Amino acid sequence: GIIMLEYRVRGRNTATDATANHAVGILWNPSTTRSIWIVEIHLANTTAATAQVELARISVRGTAGATVTPDIDNHIDHAVAPPSGFLLDLGNHSVEPTVATEPFDGYWTAATIGAGKIWNFRAAPIKVLTAAGFGIVTADAVAVAACEIVFCVQE
């Protein structure tokens, strides 16, 4: 069988604006040759506020307020940095990414610190093509407060 490399990357997002489709946490694949697969996404409130979010594909990256660049420390066996060079974009974006699809799934969190959701796609991972992204965006015109985000990625 095929052996996949698995990574976990996490970061803390700042509050978003109260506008539909604003980026909360976007996994971006800058590679021109390698696809990646998302197997889990975690979202947890770090403040006592609700979050109304959706999952969507992204066609244009935008300009993130902060970016996490995974390295060998994000590999589950601490063996190799991600060959694709994927990135986790967070923070309030100065230029929002372009949402390319209708939402895959949505969720409302309770107004409690630690409330959240884990999306598990291990049975059918979400493929992120080259020069594309996938992630969490705001649903409707509701701001999302600061939250912790984790993506588990295979390539």
List CB contacts of 135: < 8 A, sequence separation 6 or more. Answer: 23, 24, 25, 26, 27, 41, 55, 56, 58, 89, 97, 151
Q: pLDDT averaged over consecutive 10-residue blocks of the chain (155 residues)? A: 86 88 95 97 93 94 96 96 97 92 88 94 97 94 90 97
Position 141 scores a pLDDT of: 81
Q: What is the largest CA-CA distance in the chain?
A: 46
Pairing of strands 116-120, 105-108: unpaired
Going 92 to 13 to 67 to 23, the CA torsion angle's sign is negative
What does pTM read for this prediction? 0.94
Give pLDDT, residue 37: 98
pLDDT at position 8: 97
Beta strands in the chain (DSSP E): 6-13, 23-29, 36-45, 52-60, 66-68, 87-90, 98-99, 105-108, 116-120, 126-128, 132-138, 147-154
